[in-house]
Amino acid sequence: MKSNGAGAEDGFGSLGIPEMLVRSLSAMGADVPTPVQRAAIPAALTGRDVAVVAATGTGKTLAYLLPVAKRLIDEPPPKMRGRPVDPRRRLRALVLCPTRELAQQVAREAAQLFRGSVLRTTAVYGKSPLAPQRDVVEEGVDLLVGTPGRVRELCELDAISLAFVQQCVLDEADRMLDMGFLPQAKEILSRAPESRQLLFYTATMPRQVETVVEEMLKDPQRVDLVGRERSKVSGTPEARSDLGQHLHDIDDEAKTALTVALIKDGKRRGVMVFCRTRRRAGWVAAALRRHEVKTVLIHGDRSQRQRQEALAAFAAGKADVVVATDVASRGLHVPAARCVINYDVPLLPEEYVHRVGRAGHGGGTAEAFTLRCPSDMERWMHVERAMRVKLVPEKAPAFGAYMRTRDGLAPDSEGEIRPGMRAPMQGARPGAARTGPARAGSARSGAAPHGGGRIDTRRAPTKSKRPAPRPGATRGLVDPTAAESETTGRSLASMIMHAPSAARRNKKRIQKGPAKQKRTANQRGKQRKAPITKGQKPGGGVKRAS
């Protein structure tokens, strides 16, 4: 078969893939197998357990979907005459993914591959209604793609049975280990038959993941396109030459300002900003929106609908930037991503590969910027050692126009320290301020749009008489005592001194109730006394018989 100039000897048909699936692949635009597909598909078709290590964006999804689909077609479920196929016996393949977005993406790709056949697939994941997903799987599917938590929940509800599953796939297995899904994955696999085939796909193979492979897989066939065994796989691609990686040394307080400068002054679109925590991601997204940058947000606390709408807006070009935690760094194919900014150095060295791998999925050149503060030095050393990355710090572009006054740098167009202002602290602990990292251009930060030092933030005059300023008070700064006097007429020192006595008076007033008011019978209550029985005295006990 020839398609787009690809000969039959070079296509998927030479790997033993059925003609029906080859036609589906051609419709998807996949005519020539990638190196990982050429190495992993024949190994998986033998029926042995397979452990595959390949970088993100190399085609790992089709590398396990094709052998799974071929076996589903070759070994259909048994049919009873006059009866439909039992839904429990129909489920014969399971794919476990660490994130909801990845599960949805794998299910969409499987549905395109199954087009024209009787095979059915669906995705199940948490943070979404259970009833619709349960109805679909109870009707019967051949391939189930899901997150471990929701698959385990469906098993406990007896909505699905894994007793007839022939193939199990762990996609992004290293991430599942990091997120704590390993115990759930082991429990789910224990429900499948011992003869099932386990396909293990990952982008990195740290020591912990290697231990899991030795425990769970039986004499696996290994395909390594990343580590020492990469030379054994023919056609292994070299390191990406189309990805420009940059490193900037900067204080934590100035990270947000530099991020805004890289996006706005650099006129970049299709940017993915990765932060360490959900709170820091929210701060960065808010700062970008204040500077009129179309931004969407993705992290674990967002609902599934919000995350889907954010990805759809970014993919369609309606949003220029997506700010996310590491939940969006695994397996997502977003062709619109052209640039990655590591706002925080990742906690795990492997995450660096997944983050920068998001850029340039749609082809062409891509960029990756890493912002390293003094507290990130040790983590960056681990990234360099584990991922074999060596970058020289570069001079950061001018970002002073986006700095806040309270962060220690006057906003100006040159990005230099103005006379009389302190320089950003070197080696400051990230997040030391209660407000967290710098939110550039915040209206509440008191920063002037262009130049200027401190701003007078005193309240407007009220009807009460304003007290005279204290001797030696700095002009333009808020006097706490004066502020309290304007609103309450009492000084802060007076309020502190009389606070204990005021608390005692309030306590007595609450205990005594309204003062100088006679309580009536209705206020005392309408509880009736129990009638006196025979032999009982009022106020006394029961009279004993003599």
Instruction: Give the DSSP per-residue string, 276-297.
Output: SSHHHHHHHHHHHHHTT--EEE
Which alpha helices (H) appear in 397-498, and where do they start and end? 480-488, 492-497
> How sure is the predictor about 137, in pLDDT bands with cuts at 50, 70 and 90?
very high
Q: What is the mean pLDDT of residues 124-142?
A: 92
Q: What are phi and psi of 482, to 5 degrees?
A: -65, -40
- CA separation, residue 537 to residues 16, 527, 540 (Å): 102, 20, 5
Give me the pLDDT at residue 167, please.
96
DSSP, collapsed to helix, strand or coil, labels residue 12 as: helix
* Cα(107)–Cα(112) distance, integer angstroms: 9
Q: Tell which residue, 260, 282, 400, has the closest CA to residue 341.
A: 260
Give me the pLDDT at residue 495, please.
61
Give me the pLDDT at residue 430, please.
42
Give me the pLDDT at residue 83, please.
75
Quote the percentage of the chain above a pLDDT of 90: 38
Choose the weakest-confidence range: 272-286, 312-326, 480-494.
Answer: 480-494
Q: What is the mean pLDDT of residues 308-328?
A: 87
DSSP, collapsed to helix, strand or coil, labels residue 45 as: helix
- CA separation, residue 55 to residues 237, 239, 435, 476 (Å): 10, 10, 38, 56
Choice between 220 and 240, residue whose per-residue pLDDT is larger:
220
> How sure is the predictor about 307, in pLDDT bands with cuts at 50, 70 and 90?
confident
Give me the pLDDT at residue 361, please.
57
As a whole number of Å, the CA-based R_g of the chain is 33
* CA triple 302-283-306, angle to 5 deg: 20
Contacts of 20 (CB under 8 A, 6+ apart): 73, 116, 117
* Cα(413)–Cα(2) distance, integer angstroms: 59
* Cα(526)–Cα(178) distance, integer angstroms: 65
Give me the pLDDT at residue 444, please.
39
Enclosing H/E stretch for 333: none
Choose the weakest-confidence range: 20-24, 124-128, 325-329, 478-482.
Answer: 478-482
> How sure is the predictor about 423, in pLDDT bands with cuts at 50, 70 and 90?
very low
> How sure is the predictor about 429, in pLDDT bands with cuts at 50, 70 and 90?
very low
> How sure is the predictor about 251, in pLDDT bands with cuts at 50, 70 and 90?
very high
Give me the pLDDT at residue 125, please.
92
Q: Which residues pair with 372 in a beta bridge?
A: 249
Choose the weakest-confidence range: 306-310, 359-363, 501-505.
Answer: 359-363
Give me the pLDDT at residue 235, please.
42
* Cα(80)–Cα(138) distance, integer angstroms: 18
Residue 325 near residue 278 (C-beta atoms within 8 A): yes
* Cα(372)–Cα(252) distance, integer angstroms: 8
Choice between 237 and 118, residue whose per-residue pLDDT is larger:
118
Q: What is the overall mean pLDDT for the chain?
A: 76
Give me the pLDDT at residue 271, please.
92
Q: What is the mean pLDDT of residues 156-175?
A: 91
> How sure is the predictor about 231, in pLDDT bands with cuts at 50, 70 and 90?
very low
Give me the pLDDT at residue 102, please.
87
Lookup: tokens for 545: 């018989």
Q: Tell which residue, 136, 132, 130, 125, has the closest CA to residue 90.
A: 136
* Cα(487)–Cα(39) distance, integer angstroms: 76
Residue 23 near residue 116 (C-beta atoms within 8 A): yes
> How sure is the predictor about 417, in pLDDT bands with cuts at 50, 70 and 90?
very low
In tens, the pLDDT along 101-110 reads 889 989 999 9
Give me the pLDDT at residue 512, please.
58
Give me the pLDDT at residue 234, please.
43
In tens, the pLDDT along 88-97 reads 899 999 999 9
Q: Say what the pTM is.
A: 0.57
Give 164-230 as a 3 state SS string: CCCEEEEECHHHHHHCCCHHHHHHHHHCCCCCCEEEEEECCCCHHHHHHHHHHCCCCEEEECCCHHH
Sign of the Cα pseudo-torsion (120, 123, 124, 129, in order) = negative
**406, burial (CB in 10 Å: exposed 0-12, middle 13-18, buried 19+):** middle
Give 490-516 as a 3 state SS string: CCHHHHHHCHHHHHHHHHHHHHHCCCC
> How sure is the predictor about 467, in pLDDT bands with cuts at 50, 70 and 90?
low
Please, what are the domains in the chain?
Answer: 34-232 (3.40.50.300), 243-445 (3.40.50.300)
For the cut 70, the answer to whether the pLDDT of residue 196 exceeds it is yes
> How sure is the predictor about 403, in pLDDT bands with cuts at 50, 70 and 90?
confident
DSSP, collapsed to helix, strand or coil, labels residue 409 as: coil
Q: Which of 201-205, 325-329, 457-461, 520-524 has the highest mean pLDDT?
A: 201-205
Give me the pLDDT at residue 545, please.
54
Q: Give me the half-sphere count of Cα atoms (radius 13 Å) on the Cβ side of residue 528.
A: 3
